[in-house]
Amino acid sequence: MANVPEDLHYSKDHEWVRVDGDQAIIGITDYAQNSLGDVVYVELPKASEEFAANEPFGSVESVKAVSEVFTPIAGTVVKINEALADEPESVNSDPYGEGWMIRLKMSNPGEVDSLLTAAEYEDFTKAESE
């Protein structure tokens, strides 16, 4: 059973969002990392790059495949997780902590309200696995 922290927001593309003031931290969920397999490389954007909601900001490469990662909300990148360059496996071992990918300054903080809650996301993944 995948871990789905209560205090986060979720997207149907299996990203999570943690709100921190007017900024948001984004990564992929435990369900996603489990489906991907061992992560060997994470491609991240550069700071100050801007993204619209649901735009791909990078990709995650596992031994099986490459998957794009989308930002559920619009914003400008203020920081990326540089540690992932040397330790991409953090995405597998700690997807909500050490495996965080980017920190955005939100263009439209209200967008977070249209994302899934932990319970909604859990139901969504259950339906997907059936």
Partner 1 sequence: MLKAMGLGSAEELFDSIPEDLRLKRPLNTPAALSEIELLDRFEQMGARNAGARRVSFMGGGAYSHYIPTIVDHILSRSEFFTAYTPYQPEIAQGTLQTIFEFQTLVCQLTGMEVANASMYDGSTALAEAVLMAERVTKRSKVVASAATHPQYLEVIRTYVQHAGIHLELAPFDERSGQSWEALAGAIDDSTAALVVQSPNFFGCIEDLAALADAAHAKGALLVVAITEAMSLGLLKSPGACGADIVVAEGQSFGVPLSFGGPYVGLFATREKYARQIPGRLVGEAYDKKGRRGFVLTLATREQHIRREKATSNICTNEGLIALAATVYLETMGRRGVQEAALQCAQKAAYTARAIAKLSGYSLPFTGPYFNEFVVRGPGRAVELLSRLGKEKGIEGGIALSRFMSDRPNDFLVCVTETNSREQIDALLEALSEDNKS
| Contact footprint for partner 1 (CB under 8 A) | 41, 43, 61, 65-66
If we measure between CA atoms, which residue out of 25, 24, 33, 44 comes closest to residue 4?
33
Shortest CB 24 distance to partner 1, Å: 24
Other CB atoms within 10 Å distance of the CB of residue 127:
8
Q: Which is nearer to partner 1, 61 or 122 (CB)?
A: 61
Q: Which is nearer to partner 1, 66 or 83 (CB)?
A: 66
Integer angstrom CA distances of residue 103 from 27, 87, 120: 9, 18, 24
Q: Which is nearer to partner 1, 65 or 83 (CB)?
A: 65
Shortest CB 102 distance to partner 1, Å: 17
**Strand pairing partners for 56?**
70
